[in-house]
Chains A and B, each alone.
Chain A
Amino acid sequence: MELSADISLPAGDETRRDKAKERLYVLFQSGGWGTLMAIEAWAIIEFPEHEAVWGKTTTLAVTFMSFATGILITHFIRPIMARWGWKQLGWRPLLPRLFAAAVVAAAVWNALEILWVHGILGLPWRYEYSLPMILVMEECSCGAIMFVWLCLYFFYNLFDRLNRSELERFRLMTSVKEAELRALKSQVNPHFIFNSLNSLRALIEEDPARARKAVTQLANLLRYSLQSGQLETVPFEEELGVVNDYLALEQVRHEDRLRLRLDIAPEALQLRIPPMLLQTLVENAVKYGISPRPDGGEIAIIARSSGGALTIQVSNPGQIEKAGKESSTGVGLHNAAERLRLIFGEKATLELHSDRQLAQVVAEAIIPLPSH
C-alpha cells in the first residue's frame, strides 16, 4: 500500500508551481492584448479613412497607449481582488462582483484615456458624436473587454482551485487509509512470545525434539507476523498454517488445558483474507476463553465458502464480558473489523456473539468473494 509515494507536494514544488503560474499569466496577458492590438492596428492601416482626423501614426500610437493602460489596469487590479478574497469565492457571488469591477475598470480606463489624449496631448475631438455619447459607447466596449478579461482570469483560477482541492482530497484519503491500515496492523502479543520462550527453555531439558520443533514454529509465527504488514491479503491456507504453529506453541504452554477442533472446508483454503485476521481471532479466543479458566477449554475453528462469501468462525468457552470497551478484546477485534472493511468494503463484517446454551463466544468474520 505505497499509494502516497508520488502524490505528495513538498514545499519546493509549491514555489515552482507559483512561478509556472506567473509565467502563464504573462503569456496570457501579452497574447490576449497583443491579439487585440494587432486587430486594431490592422483596421487602422486597412481603413485609414476612419482615422483621417489624427492621421495613421498618431492613431496607432494612441491606440497602443490605450492598450498599455488597459494592461496596467488589469495588472494592478489583481492584487486588489486577491486582497478582497475574490479568489476564494464561487461563481455565483463572483459574477456580479466581476461585472461591477469591469464597469469601474472601464470607467477608469476611459477617464485616463480622455485625460491623456485631450487634456495632455491636446489632440482634437475626432468623433461626430458628443462627449457623453462617446463615454457611454466607450464604457460599453471597454467594459466588455474588461469583463472578458476578468472572466478568463477567474475561470483559470477556479479551475486551478478545483484541481488542487481534488489533489488535496486524494492525498488526504490515501494517507488516512494508509495510516489506518498501519495502525490496525496486529502483531503477535509480546506476552505470548516471552512466555513461549520461557516454556522453550524448560522444554529443551525435558523434550529436546519437541523443543526443536517449537523453535521452528515460533520462528514461522514471528516471520509471518513481521512480513504480514507488506501484504494486503494472503491465502487462508497460509494463515491457517501459521495459526496451527501458534496453537501448537500455546499447547506447549497450556498443555491439556487447550483443546482444538478444526473444521475447514477444502474450497476455503485458497480464498484470500487479510493477514493476521484468523490469528487475531484465535489469539483472542485463547486469551479470553482458555487463559482465565483453570480447567481451560476447547477452541473450534470453522471455515466455509458459501453464498458468495468466506465465513470464518472461531469459538471459545465463556461469555462476552459486559465491561466491553475497556478490555483489549474490544480494541483487537475492532481493529480487525476496520481492517477488513478498509480492504473488502462494507460487506465484509466481523462480529462477536455469545451462545448462552453452549456457554460459548463465537467470533464470526464474513468476507465477500471477488465477484468476477
Chain B
Amino acid sequence: MKALLIDDERLARNELRRLLAAFPQVKIAGEASNTKQAREQLAALKPDLLFLDVQMPGETGLEFLESLEPPAPHVIFTTAYDEFAVKAFELNALDYLLKPVDPARLASAVERLPGLAGPAEPKEPAGRLRTGDRVFVREGERCWFVEVGQIRLLESEGNYTRVHFGDAQPQLFRSLNAMEERLDPRFFFRANRRQIMNIAWIAGVEPWFSGGLLVQLKGGAKIELSRRQAQEFRERMSL
C-alpha cells in the first residue's frame, strides 16, 4: 500500500516516517508540506493512503480533501490538538492520530485499513464511481466518508449538489451534471433537471399526472418524473 505523508512540518513528517518503518505493508511513496504539493504528488504517485495533517498553511486538510475528485482515498488524519476536528472525527468514526503519535494507536489504525491483502485495483480518476467507493463530504464541523451506494438522492443547488444519505444531507462542492458523469447509470437515474436518485433505494412507484410517475424513496423523499422521464424509467426497469 502506497502512502503519502502530508504535513507542513518537516520534523512531523520525519517522525511519522520513523514510526511507519515498523509497518512493512505501508510504503511511503512521497511527502508534501502543503496542499498544493499534495495535489501534485497525488496525481504523480497515485497513493492508496494519505496521512493528512488537519492544520496546514493556506488550506486545511479537510478543505483539501473536500476539493479532491471522488472517490476519496483512504485517509488517516493527524492532528495535535483540535477539539473541533477530533469531535467531528469521533462522531463519524473517521480514523485519526493525535500528535505525538502513540505507536500502538498507529498499529491499530494501520490494521483497520481495508484491502491490504487484496491486489491493487487499477484506478481511473475519470471513470465511473463504484457503489463501494467513498466520497468525502463536510458540513460545518461534521464530515463523512459516504459510500456511493448509501446515497439515496442527489439534488442540484446551483454549482453544488446536496447529497442525501443516512439522516444527513450535506453539500458537495460539485455540480449535479459533473456528478452525473461520474455515477454508475445502472444505479443512478436522472429523474429530472434537479434530481438524481439511487434506484436501489426506491420504496414504491405510483402513477402521477399526465403519464408521469411519483417515486418514493426509502427515507421518505418523493420524486416526480415527467412523462418523458417516466417513459425512460419504465424502459430501464423492465429490462
Contacts and interface: CB of A to CB of B under 8 A. Distances in A.
Contacts of B18: 202, 205
Interface residues of B, number: 21
B11 A253 contact: yes
A195 B34 contact: no
Interface string A186-198: 0000111111011
Secondary structure at the B interface, as helix, strand, loop or mixed, is: loop
A32 to B, nearest CB: 68
A291 B55 contact: yes
Contacts of A294: 8, 33-34, 36, 57-58
Interface string B74-113: 0000001110000000000000001111000000000000
A221 to B, nearest CB: 15
A194 B99 contact: yes
Nearest to B10: A255
A202 B14 contact: yes
A59 to B, nearest CB: 88
Interface in B1-47: 8-12, 14-15, 18, 33-34, 36
Contacts of B101: 198
A292 interface: yes
Secondary structure at the A interface, as helix, strand, loop or mixed, is: helix
B57 A198 contact: no
A298 to B, nearest CB: 15
A206 interface: yes
A252 interface: yes
A208 B146 CA distance: 44
Contacts of B57: 291-294
Given A190-B81, A202-B14, A206-B14, A195 B58 contact: no
A42 B178 CA distance: 113
A291 B9 CA distance: 11
A199 interface: yes
A201 interface: yes
Contact of A198 (B33, B34, B80, B82): B80
Interface of B: 8-12, 14-15, 18, 33-34, 36, 55, 57-58, 80-82, 98-101
Given A191-B55, A193-B81, A198-B101, 12 more contacts: A194-B80, A195-B12, A195-B81, A195-B99, A197-B99, A199-B15, A202-B14, A202-B18, A253-B11, A292-B57, A292-B58, A294-B57
Interface of A: 190-195, 197-203, 205-206, 252-255, 291-294
